[in-house]
Chains A and B, each alone.
Chain A
C-alpha cells in the first residue's frame, strides 16, 4: 500500500466494518431467538399466564413474525438510527442505552486511564530494573492482579473498605440522599475503577516490560546513552515510543470490549452501566436492547481496530509502506 492511499484504506475498512455490523446484528437475532424464553414470558412473571395472554403479547410486540422479517425490519430501522422500543425497559432502546452510557464511560474511562498509566509506568520500571528485586515485586503484583477473579477481588475490597472501615461506599454511583455531586461520584467510583483496571494494568505491565526489555538492548539506545542522554530521557524519548506498539494493540483490543465487558464489576459494585444492562437484558430476553448493545459493542470493536491502524502509522511511519 502506498502512503498516499490511506484514505482508500480507511474507506475499505469502514465499508467492511458496516458489513460486519449487519452480520453481527443478524447473528444476535438468531442467537436470542434460539434461546428459550421471551419478553412475553418475562412480563408474565411467575403468575402462570395462559397461552392466550402470551399469544396476545407476542402479537403486539411482533414476536410472532418470522425471524428473517424481524431481522430485516431491525436492520432497516437501525440504519435510520431507530434502535426500536424495549417493553421491558418501557422506553426507546436509544434512551435505555443512552441513560447508561455516561456511567459506563466514566467507569471504563477511569479504569482505562489508570491501567494505561500504571501499567506502562510499572512496565518501564520493571524493564529498567530487570532481574532485580523491584522487577520481581512488580511481576508478582501483576501476576496476582491478572489471576484474581474480579468478582472475588471486588467483594474483598467492599468487605474491607465499605463494611469494615466505612471509608468508601459498597456500591452504586451516588449516595442515597441524592446529592450526586462530583466528589460523591468520585467517592463511589474508586473501588469499581480500581477493580476493573487491575486486569488490564497487569496485562500492560507484562507487555510493556517485554517490549521495553527488547528495546533497551537495541543499538539506538546504546547510541543515545553514548551521546550522554540522561537515563529518563533514554527510557521515555528513545526506548518507550518503540516499545508502545504492542501496548497499543492490547489497549485498543480492550477498548471495544470495556464498555459492555464490565458486567461482573458493574454487578458487584451495583454500577448503573451498560454491562449490567447487558446482563439484565439477557435474563429478560430483551431482544431490542440486546441487539442495540451488541451493535454498539461491535461498532466499538471495529472503530478500535481502525484506530489501532491509525495509531500504528503515527508511531511507526514504516507501517504505511507495507
Chain B
C-alpha cells in the first residue's frame, strides 16, 4: 500500500471531527450581527487575473475581482434564486418566452456616464453571446433583445428555457460600458486593464504580479454600500496565502487546501465556512473512457464503483472537507438533488463477482485481471494513489500518469487518449448550466470540460431537454431525479466526492461574510465591514 492506511484513517477521523464544528463557527459569525461600521481595507489573497474583462472569460481568477467592479442584471441568493442587481424587478410572459427587466434608474458608470438599457443590449449582443466561453451558448436560446426605454430591456427567447435567469449574474452576464467597448476588440481593449463598471468598488490600480487595488464607489446605486474603503487583491498561490494569513498580512484566503482548512479551523478570530460559496459546489467523478475496453461494459463500471471506498477517499484525500458523493448531482442544488439512487458502498465481493461475470478473471494465484491507466494533474495526486490501491484489491492494475493540467485536459477532452481520468465539475446554480455538459451526446466534442467519457444515450438527452423547457421547478426537479437514477445505474462517470470547500476570513476584524448569495466570493466586498471602523460614514 503506498500510503499507510492507519495514518490516513486517524487523519480522516480528526478531520471529520473538527469539520463538524465549521457550521458552529459560521453560526457564531452570522448570529445577530452588530451594527455595521465604515472604513478599512480588506486584503484578499487571489491569483493574478490578467485582463479585467468579465465578458470574455469564465476564469476563476478574474471574477473574484471583477465581481466587485461590475454588476449583472441579477444575483443568485443562497438558494440559487435570482434577486435584483441592475434589474430592480422583472416579469415573465405567460408563454415563458419573454422576460422584461426594469433597470435601476439612477445608475452611473464609474467614469460618470449614465447606465442604460443600451449597455445591456450591447453587452449581450456584441460581447457575451460572442465571446463569453459559457454564456455564448445562450445564442441558441435568445431570439432578440429590445430596449423600449432607457430603463427597460426585453429578452425574447426562441423557446422556453427554465434556467434563463440563473445565467444573468456577473459571473455569466456582467454588463460592460457600451461607450468604452463599442467599435473595439474586447480581447485587446486597453480598458480591460483599467475597468469601468457599475459595482460597489472602483478600479484604482493594477500592478502585474503584485496586486489590484479597488476603492469604494461613493455613487453606488445601493444606498449605504459598500462599507469598506478599499479592497486589495494580492496575488499569491495557496501555500503562500496560508503563510500570509498566518502572518496577518491577508484577511481573506479564498481557496484553501483541505489541510489548510483544518489548520485554521477553531482558530480564535478566524472563520472557516462554506457559506456563500454554494455556487461553486462540485462533484468530482472518476471519468471512464467508454470507447475503450473494458469500460464499455456496464458491469465493469459498476464493479469499479463497488470496489472504491469513497468514504475513505473523502476523509483522507479531501481531509473530510468534501463528502462522499451519494448522487451524480451535487447535494447543494436541493430542489433537483436526490440520494435515492443506487448506492455503491465499498463491497469487494460484489466487485469481484461482476468482474468475473464480465469475463475478466484473475490469473492463477489471484493475479491482475486487466491493466489500465489513470491520467491526472497534481491536484489529484493523493486521490490517484488511493484509487490505485483500492482497485488493486479487486485485481485491476493501474498505471498512474501524472501530467500538467494542460496536457491532462488535452488527453482527456481533445484527443480522448485515456482510459480513466478525473475532473472537478462545478455544478453552478442549475443542473442545466454545469451538470448536463458531462452527459449529453451533443457535447462529445474536442473541447475542454465536455463529455469526456463519450457516453451517449438518447433517453438521457431527451430528459435533459425536457427539464430545460419545464418552468415548474417541482416537475423539473422530478425529471432531474429520474436522470440521477438513470446515470447512477449507467455510471458513465463514477461520482467520488461532493462539496464546496470553505473559504477563510479574519472574522475578528471583518464581518458580513456568508449571507449574501451563493456566489459571494464574487461580491463579498459589497456588505463586508470592518469592526474597527467608524460608526458613521465620515
Real binding pair: yes
Stretch at the interface among A126-134, A221-229, A272-280: A272-280
Partner of B134, one of A49, A163, A284: A49
Flag if A162 contacts B243 (CB, 8 Å): yes
A96 to B209, CA, bound (A): 10
A160 to B240, CA, bound (A): 14
Stretch at the interface among A169-177, A195-203, A244-252: A169-177
**A-contact 0/1 string along B112-137, CB 8 Å cutoff:** 00000000000000000011011011
Partner of B449, one of A47, A61, A172, A284: A47
Q: Which of A177, A270, A283 has the most CB of B within 10 A?
A: A270
Partner of A50, one of B57, B137, B190, B237: B137
Does A146 belong to the interface (CB within 8 Å)? no
Known contacts A45-B59, A60-B187, A177-B41; A51/B240 CB under 8 A: no
Give chain B nearest CB distance to A175 CB in angstroms.
8
Stretch at the interface among A34-42, A74-82, A299-307: A34-42
Flag if B240 contacts A270 (CB, 8 Å): yes
| Interface members, chain B 394-412 (any A CB < 8 Å) | 404-407, 409-411
Complex contacts, A41 vs chain B, CB 8 Å: 406, 409, 448
Flag if B59 contacts A53 (CB, 8 Å): no
Stretch at the interface among A19-27, A85-93, A110-118, A232-240: A85-93
Give chain B nearest CB distance to A279 CB in angstroms.
10
Partner of A88, one of B50, B246, B410, B411: B50
Flag if A103 contacts B445 (CB, 8 Å): no
Partner of A45, one of B51, B57, B237, B246: B57
Flag if B243 contacts A158 (CB, 8 Å): yes
Does B357 belong to the interface (CB within 8 Å)? no
Known contacts A176-B234, A270-B235; A36/B240 CB under 8 A: no
Closest chain A residue, CB of each to CB of B249? A170
Flag if A53 contacts B133 (CB, 8 Å): yes
**B-contact 0/1 string along A139-171, CB 8 Å cutoff:** 000000000000000010011001100100111
Flag if B246 contacts A170 (CB, 8 Å): yes
Complex contacts, B449 vs chain A, CB 8 Å: 46-48
A270 to B53, CA, bound (A): 24
Complex contacts, A30 vs chain B, CB 8 Å: none
| Interface members, chain B 182-237 (any A CB < 8 Å) | 185, 187-188, 190, 192-193, 207-211, 213, 232, 234-237
Does A68 belong to the interface (CB within 8 Å)? no
Chain B interface extent, by class: 35 or more
Flag if A285 contacts B406 (CB, 8 Å): yes
Flag if B406 contacts A35 (CB, 8 Å): yes
Flag if B43 contacts A48 (CB, 8 Å): no
Complex contacts, A310 vs chain B, CB 8 Å: none
Give chain B nearest CB distance to A292 CB in angstroms.
13
Partner of B236, one of A89, A90, A270, A277: A270
**B-contact 0/1 string along A53-69, CB 8 Å cutoff:** 11011001100000000
A272 to B407, CA, bound (A): 27
Closest chain A residue, CB of each to CB of B246? A163
Known contacts A159-B243, A163-B247; A51/B445 CB under 8 A: yes
A255 to B59, CA, bound (A): 36
Complex contacts, A267 vs chain B, CB 8 Å: 237, 240
Give chain B nearest CB distance to A95 CB in angstroms.
8
Does B426 belong to the interface (CB within 8 Å)? yes
A159 to B240, CA, bound (A): 11
Flag if A43 contacts B409 (CB, 8 Å): no
Does B60 belong to the interface (CB within 8 Å)? yes
A60 to B188, CA, bound (A): 11
Flag if A49 contacts B447 (CB, 8 Å): yes
Flag if B136 contacts A53 (CB, 8 Å): yes
Does B48 belong to the interface (CB within 8 Å)? yes
Partner of B209, one of A48, A85, A272: A272
Does B424 belong to the interface (CB within 8 Å)? yes
A173 to B208, CA, bound (A): 12
Does A99 belong to the interface (CB within 8 Å)? yes
Flag if A162 contacts B247 (CB, 8 Å): yes
Flag if B249 contacts A169 (CB, 8 Å): yes
Flag if A172 contacts B208 (CB, 8 Å): no
Flag if A170 contacts B247 (CB, 8 Å): yes
A89 to B234, CA, bound (A): 16
Flag if B58 contacts A171 (CB, 8 Å): no
Known contacts A36-B406, A48-B448; A43/B243 CB under 8 A: no
Flag if B209 contacts A276 (CB, 8 Å): yes
Complex contacts, A36 vs chain B, CB 8 Å: 406-407, 409-411, 414
Flag if B192 contacts A43 (CB, 8 Å): no
A270 to B57, CA, bound (A): 25
Complex contacts, A88 vs chain B, CB 8 Å: 50-51
Number of interface residues of A (CB under 8 A): 57
A174 to B232, CA, bound (A): 12
Complex contacts, B60 vs chain A, CB 8 Å: 45-46
Does B56 belong to the interface (CB within 8 Å)? yes
Flag if B209 contacts A277 (CB, 8 Å): yes
Partner of B445, one of A43, A50, A99, A273: A50
Q: Which of A42, A90, A158, A283 has the most CB of B within 10 A?
A: A90
Q: Which of A37, A46, A173 has the most CB of B within 10 A?
A: A46
A100 to B208, CA, bound (A): 7
Give chain B nearest CB distance to A18 CB in angstroms.
29
Flag if A99 contacts B208 (CB, 8 Å): yes
A103 to B41, CA, bound (A): 25
Known contacts A44-B133, A53-B136; A272/B447 CB under 8 A: no
Flag if B50 contacts A171 (CB, 8 Å): no
Give chain A nearest CB distance to B174 CB in angstroms.
14
A48 to B433, CA, bound (A): 10
Give chain B nearest CB distance to A151 CB in angstroms.
9
A301 to B464, CA, bound (A): 59
Known contacts A45-B58, A163-B243, A272-B209; A89/B134 CB under 8 A: no
Q: Which of A35, A36, A169 has the most CB of B within 10 A?
A: A36
Flag if A87 contacts B188 (CB, 8 Å): yes
| Interface members, chain B 29-60 (any A CB < 8 Å) | 41, 43, 48, 50-53, 56-60
Flag if B207 contacts A99 (CB, 8 Å): yes
Partner of B240, one of A89, A178, A268: A268
Give chain B nearest CB distance to A243 CB in angstroms.
39
A170 to B446, CA, bound (A): 43
A49 to B237, CA, bound (A): 26
| Interface members, chain A 263-322 (any B CB < 8 Å) | 267-270, 272-273, 276-277, 280, 283-285
Complex contacts, B411 vs chain A, CB 8 Å: 36
Flag if A37 contacts B133 (CB, 8 Å): no
Complex contacts, B406 vs chain A, CB 8 Å: 35-37, 41-42, 283, 285
Flag if B447 contacts A280 (CB, 8 Å): no
A53 to B446, CA, bound (A): 11
Does B271 belong to the interface (CB within 8 Å)? no
Give chain A nearest CB distance to B133 CB in angstroms.
4
A285 to B404, CA, bound (A): 12
Give chain A nearest CB distance to B389 CB in angstroms.
28
Closest chain B residue, CB of each to CB of A175? B249
Give chain A nearest CB distance to B509 CB in angstroms.
13
Give chain B nearest CB distance to A163 CB in angstroms.
5
Apart from the given pairs A61-B187, A171-B249, 19 other A-B contacts in the complex at a CB distance below 8 Å: A47-B449, A48-B134, A48-B443, A49-B448, A53-B136, A56-B130, A87-B51, A89-B50, A89-B208, A90-B51, A90-B192, A100-B209, A103-B210, A162-B249, A166-B247, A170-B247, A172-B244, A176-B211, A268-B240
12 A/B residue pairs, CB under 8 Å, sorted by A: A37-B406, A48-B437, A51-B446, A61-B187, A88-B50, A89-B208, A90-B52, A158-B247, A159-B243, A169-B247, A172-B210, A267-B240
Which 8 residue pairs spanning A and B have beta carbons closest together?
A: A37-B406, A90-B51, A272-B209, A36-B410, A48-B449, A49-B133, A47-B58, A272-B210
